A and B are shown apart, each in its own frame.
Chain A
Amino acid sequence: MALTNEYIQEQLAAKFGEQVYAFSTANGMLSFESAKDLNLKVMQFLYDEPSLGFTFLTDLCAVNYPDNVGGELVVVYHLHNLRENVRIRYSIATSISAPDVFTASKLFEAANWMERETYDFFGVNFVGHPNLKRILNVDEMDYFPLRKEFPLEDQTRIDKDDEMFGRG
Chain B
Amino acid sequence: MEANHNITLPEGSIEKQTTTLNFGPTHPATHGVFQNIMEVDGERVVSTEQTVGYIHRAFEKLAERRPLYQITPITDRLNYCSSPINNMGWHITCERFLQIETPKRVDYLRIIIMELARISDHLICNSIVGVDTGAYTGFLYVMQYRELIYEIYEEVCGSRLTTNIGRIGGFERNFTNTAFTKLEKFLHEYPKVLKEFESLFTRNRIFMERTQGTGGISAERAMNYGFTGPNLRAAGVDYDVRVANPYSSYQDIDFTVPVGSTGDNYDRFLVRNAEMWQSLSIIQQAYNKVQSFKGTDAEIFHAEVPEYYLPKKEDVYTKMEALIWHFKIIMGEIDLPKGQIYSPVEGGNGELGFYLISDGGRTPFRLHFRRPCFIYYQAYPELIKGGMLSDAVVTMSSLNLIAGELDA
Chain A residues with Cβ below 8 Å from B224 are 55, 108-110
Q: Do B379 and A87 have beta carbons less than 8 Å apart?
A: no
Counting CB contacts under 8 A, is B53 at the interface? yes
Interface check A40, CB cutoff 8 A? no
> Is A57's beta carbon under 8 Å from chain B?
yes
Query: Digit string of B16-57 for contact with A (CB within 8 Å is 1, else 0)?
Result: 000000000000000000000000000000000000110010
Contact status A152-B226, CB under 8 Å: no
A63 touches which one: B339, B341, B366, B408 (CB < 8 A)? B366
Residue of B with least CB distance to A121: B60
Per-residue interface assignment for chain B, residues 331 to 353, with 1 indicating a CB less than 8 Å from any chain A CB and 0 otherwise: 00000000111101000000101
Report A-chain residues with C-beta under 8 Å of the C-beta of B60.
121, 146
Q: Considering only CB atoms and an 8 Å cut-off, how many residues of chain A contact the other chain?
A: 35
The answer, among B52, B226, B351, B357, for a CB contact under 8 Å with A136, is B52
Assembled-state Cα–Cα distance A56/B378 (Å): 15
Please name the residue on chain A nearest to B338 by beta carbon. Answer: A26
Interchain CB contact under 8 A, B378 and A110: yes
A136 to B97, CA, bound (A): 29
A4 at the interface (CB under 8 A from B): no
> B58, B375, B379 — which one has the most chain A CB atoms within 10 A of its CB?
B375
Which residues of chain A come closer than 8 Å to B370, judged between CB atoms? 58-59, 78
The distance from the CB of B53 to the nearest CB of chain A, in whole angstroms, is: 4
Q: Complex: how many Å from CA A107 to CA B170?
A: 41
Contact of A110 among B64, B225, B237, B408 (CB under 8 A): B225
**Bound complex: CA A117 to CA B374 (Å):** 10
CB <8 Å contact, B355 and A109:
no
Residue A127, interface by CB 8 Å? no
Write the nearest CB–CB distance from A91 to chain B, whole angstroms.
10
Query: Which residues from chain B contact A61 at a C-beta distance below 8 Å?
Result: 355, 368
Q: Does B313 contact A (CB under 8 A)?
A: no
Question: Which chain A residue has the least Cβ–Cβ distance from B339?
Answer: A26
Is residue A112 contacting chain B, with contact meaning CB distance below 8 A?
A: yes
User: A26 contacts which chain B residues (CB < 8 A)?
Assistant: 339-341
Q: How many A-B residue pairs have CB under 8 A?
A: 88
Name A125-160 residues within 8 Å CB distance of B.
134-138, 145-146, 150, 152, 155
CA distance A65 to B197 in the complex (A): 52
Q: Do B339 and A27 have beta carbons less than 8 Å apart?
A: yes
Set of chain A residues within 8 Å of B56, measured between Cβ atoms: 136-137
**A109 and B52 in contact (CB under 8 A), knowing A82-B239, A146-B60, A152-B61?**
no
B226 cross-chain contacts in A, Cβ below 8 A: 56-58, 108-110, 114
A97 at the interface (CB under 8 A from B): no
- List, in ascending order, chain B residues with CB within 8 A of A155's CB: 65
Q: Verify A114–B375 contact, CB threshold 8 A.
A: yes
Q: Give the docked Cα–Cα distance between A134 and B52 (Å).
A: 10
A27 touching B341, Cβ below 8 Å = yes
A59 touches B342 (CB 8 A): yes
CA distance A144 to B366 in the complex (A): 15
Given A109-B379, A136-B408: A58 and B225 interface contact (C-beta under 8 Å): no
| A interface footprint on B369-394 (CB within 8 Å = 1, 0 otherwise) | 01000110111000000000000000
Contact B355 A146 (CB under 8 A): no
Min distance, Cβ A154 to any Cβ of chain B, angstroms = 9
Question: Which residues of B have CB within 8 Å of A27?
Answer: 96-97, 339-342
Residue among A59, A145, A152 with the highest chain B CB neighbour number at 10 A: A59
Residue among B223, B225, B365, B407 making CB contact with A82, cutoff 8 Å: B223
The CA of A112 and the CA of B226, in the complex, are separated in Å by 11
Chain B residues, Cβ within 8 Å of A58 = 226, 342, 344, 351, 353, 370
Check if B245 is an interface residue, CB within 8 A of chain A. Answer: yes
Residue of A nearest to B353 (CB): A59
A142 to B340, CA, bound (A): 30
13 contacts between A and B (CB under 8 A): A27-B96, A27-B341, A29-B342, A58-B226, A59-B370, A78-B353, A78-B355, A82-B239, A109-B378, A110-B225, A114-B226, A114-B375, A121-B60
